[in-house]
Structure 1
Amino acid sequence: MPLSPLEHDRRYSELDQVMRAYLGQSADDNPERPSQALTAYLRHTWHFRPWALATAERQLRDYADNPPGRLRLRLGEFYDIPDVGLPEGEVRQWLHCLADHIRHSIETGEVPPSSAPVTHWEWHARFPELGQFLGGWFSQDMPDEFDDHDTAVDDYRRSTDSQLVGRLVGELHELLALDLDESDYALAVAELGMEVDAAPYSPSGWLARVAQQLAAPPTVAR
């Protein structure tokens, strides 16, 4: 039978996070240089969940040293490494390479410098509620569901727990504090799931407007 959620998390929770960081990215790590995907994982995890790095190093190495055998494969009791574009015979060596880079980072304290997110995974890891908001309320179906952008924002506020609304306001201010170019803000909202135009506002102007709307006390109907 497939692994229970508890057993999955014990064995593979952080391994899974590392693998997710490679979504749409090249697994071109080598002993001298980590890939863009692993650098993004290290940057985010160092700054937000540094205690998870040792777990990632151990789970990567354990999986490389003890790949699932025939019984576990037949029972489904294993983590299925996603296709990262490497030949099957090179995956174990690649996992060891990732573990080595993570161990080096931990032992030397070498941390990728702070920056705006670079990969799709890093955008969503850093701004999870903003990803939920943009992907859920501003997909390409938004014009069929709401009269305009403001109506969609109001619907989010009415249907979402106030603590999550507060979290979104914080993420909006954090994103605006990065002080990116407008083209980079357009890339950011696209990476986070927005599929409609913010016109007549610029991307950053619209984000600031949404933050202001959600931070204001809700109007009480009479």
Structure 2
Amino acid sequence: MPLSPLDHDRRYGELDHVMRAYLGQPADDTPDTPGQALTAYLRRTWHQRPWALAVAERQLRDYADNPPGRLRLRLGEFYAVPDVGLPQDGIQRWLYCIADHIKHSIETGEVPPPATPVTHWEWHARFPELGQFLGGWFSQDMPDEFDGHDAAVQDYRGSADPQLVAQLVGELHELLALDLDESDYALAIAELGMEVDAPAPYSPSGWLALVAERLATPRTDYGPPASEM
């Protein structure tokens, strides 16, 4: 039978994080140099969850040492490595290569320097609530669901937990602090799930700043009038 969620996380939870970092990216790691996807994973994981690196290194080696055999394949009790563009006989060698780079990073303390996200995975790992906000409220269906951008922002504010709203405001300020070109801000919000243009006359960064300001303004909801209480 397929793995339970608990068994999956025990055996492959952090391995799965590493593999997700490669979605849409080439598995171009060499014994001397980690590729772009692994560099992004190392940069973000060192910053947010440094303890998880040792777990990833162990799970990668365990999987490479014991690839799923016919019985586990038939029962579904295994983790399916996504297609990363490598031949099947090259997967094991690649997993060892990734594990070696992670081990080297842990033992030497070599951490990729801070940088603007370079992969889809890294954008969402760095700005998780902004990804939820843009992908959930500003998909291509937004014009059919709301009267405009302001209405979508207010719907998010009215339905999201205040702590998540505060987290989003922080992520908006962090994104704006990257001081990107407007074309790069447009690419960033597209990576994070926004499928509509910023409203005229705002540039992408101008609209993000406006959203941050509005969400940071305290709500003036004082409850129903006294006659209704």
The percentage of counterpart residues that share the same residue type is: 81
Aligned amino acid, residue 116 of structure 1? T
Deviations 1:18-66 (A, max 9, x none): 0000010000111011110000000101111111000000000110000
- Report what 1:34 is aligned to: 34
| CA distance, structure 2, for counterparts of residue 27 and residue 219 of structure 1 | 51
| CA distance, structure 1, for counterparts of residue 152 and residue 133 of structure 2 | 10
Shift in Å at residue 177 of structure 1? 1.3
| SS of alignment partner, residue 118 of structure 2 | coil
- Report what 1:108 is aligned to: 108
| CA distance, structure 2, for counterparts of residue 13 and residue 201 of structure 1 | 41
- Report what 1:218 is aligned to: 219
Aligned amino acid, residue 210 of structure 2? R
Shift in Å at residue 219 of structure 1? 3.3
| CA distance, structure 2, for counterparts of residue 180 and residue 104 of structure 1 | 32
Gaps of 5+ in 2: none
| CA distance, structure 1, for counterparts of residue 55 and residue 183 of structure 2 | 37
- Report what 1:203 is aligned to: 204
| SS of alignment partner, residue 183 of structure 1 | helix
The correspondence of residues 172-183 of structure 1 with structure 2, limited to 5 A, is 172-183=172-183
Q: 1:127 aligned to 2:127?
A: yes
| SS of alignment partner, residue 84 of structure 1 | coil
Q: TM-score, normalised by structure 2?
A: 0.95
| SS of alignment partner, residue 179 of structure 2 | coil
Q: 1:72 aligned to 2:37?
A: no
Shift in Å at residue 160 of structure 1? 1.0
- Report what 2:147 is aligned to: 147
Moved over 2 A (4+): 219-222
| CA distance, structure 1, for counterparts of residue 12 and residue 131 of structure 2 | 24
| CA distance, structure 1, for counterparts of residue 77 and residue 220 of structure 2 | 52
- Superposition RMSD in Å: 1.0
| CA distance, structure 2, for counterparts of residue 140 and residue 178 of structure 1 | 26
Aligned amino acid, residue 206 of structure 1? W
- Report what 2:62 is aligned to: 62
Aligned amino acid, residue 202 of structure 2? Y
- Report what 2:96 is aligned to: 96
Deviations 1:142-192 (A, max 9, x none): 111111100000000111111111111111111111111111111110100
Give the structure with higher Rg (CA): 2
Count of residues paired in the alignment:
222
- Report what 1:51 is aligned to: 51
Aligned amino acid, residue 142 of structure 1? M
| CA distance, structure 1, for counterparts of residue 106 and residue 195 of structure 2 | 39
Q: TM-score, normalised by structure 1?
A: 0.98
Aligned amino acid, residue 159 of structure 1? S
